[in-house]
Amino acid sequence: MPDLIESVQACTHGLQMELEWMKAWRDEHPQDALEHLRHFQTQLGACGDFIRHAQSGSTSTELRRAICEYRECLQRVQEVLPIVQKQLLAQRYCLERQQMHLQAATRWAQGSKDTL
């Protein structure tokens, strides 16, 4: 049982680390956001499968407490994800605007080159 409790606690710790990253992602490396979110999704799925399996057996008070902490962490993730989504959409909008600007500049440069 202690191994099971430690595993649940490790899942919770991993989610907490991801939460910290999500709160500060735009200040550090926004270009890594997609890859990081993919890793987070994989970790979340693995932890969820593990927790469901852990709950199917008999549970001690300590294991139930560890699972409760995991669920609380999931609630915080649920609160943060819409904020991250808004930030990513805003970044996408800025990148699309820059792309349109560069395309217009390229067309202008091509037109200027053709007239010379």
Return per-residue pLDDT of the chain as tens, 116 residues: 567 778 888 888 888 888 787 777 655 566 677 777 777 888 788 777 777 776 666 668 888 888 888 888 888 888 888 887 887 788 889 889 999 999 999 999 888 876 76
Rounded CA-CA distance 114/106 in Å is: 12
Question: How many structural domains compose the chain?
Answer: 1
pLDDT at 96: 93
At residue 13, the pLDDT reads 87
CA nearest 70: which of 1, 2, 7? 7
Count other Cβ atoms within 10 Å, centred on residue 98: 10
- For 33, 41, 91, 92, the CA distances from 96, given in Å and listed in that order, are 17, 25, 9, 6
Residues spanned by the domain of 61: 2-115
Contact 16, 73 (CB under 8 A): yes
